[in-house]
Amino acid sequence: MNKEAPSPIELREPIHRLFYRVIYGDTDTGGVVYYGNYLRIFEMGRTEFLRSMLKISYRDLERKGLILPVSEAYCRYKAPAYYDDLLEISTSLENFSKFSIRFHYLIHRLNDQRLLVKGCTVHAATDRSGSLTRLPEDFHTALAGICDS
């Protein structure tokens, strides 16, 4: 992970919000969410962002031969989440190119609205062999439509 975010972590419209209750398996023996699990929580937000905003799933993208591995990740931990906390995962599309996509995330605890984590991920567009490829034209157009809304 990078020591510093490449740019400020801010959300831009449209923003997808997902609610998630922390399960015991997310936590360490002290009942605190293990830091690495926030990347999995980011993935949940990103997956549902695509499903909700574009009406497309990762499975649909894989059927087109597109894989979107994480090429960069950043997390800034502000406060801990605990077992049974209800979290709000806010996700937005920051930018994209012909070869990559960048998402931003904010995670708040719902009962007190405290910001717990902010971060971003960058995803390279690859084919099944792992070679860099262009985003499919229809997917690229759909992403552009989100940015214009």
What is the reported pLDDT for 147? Answer: 79
CATH assignment at residue 80:
3.10.129.10
d(CA 72, CA 82): 26
- The 10s digit of each residue's pLDDT in 22-50 is 999 999 988 999 999 999 999 999 999 99
**4, part of any domain:** no
Count of domains forming the chain = 1
pLDDT(2) > 80: no
CA distance 43 to 70: 10
The answer to whether residue 127 is domain-embedded is: yes
Averaged confidence pLDDT in the chain? 93
Residue 92 falls in which region: left (phi positive, over 0), alpha (psi -120 to 50) or beta: beta
Q: What is the pLDDT of residue 146?
A: 87
In a domain, 79, yes or no: yes
Is 8 domain-assigned?
no
Residue span of the structural domain in which 41 resides: 15-148
Q: Is residue 115 part of a domain?
A: yes
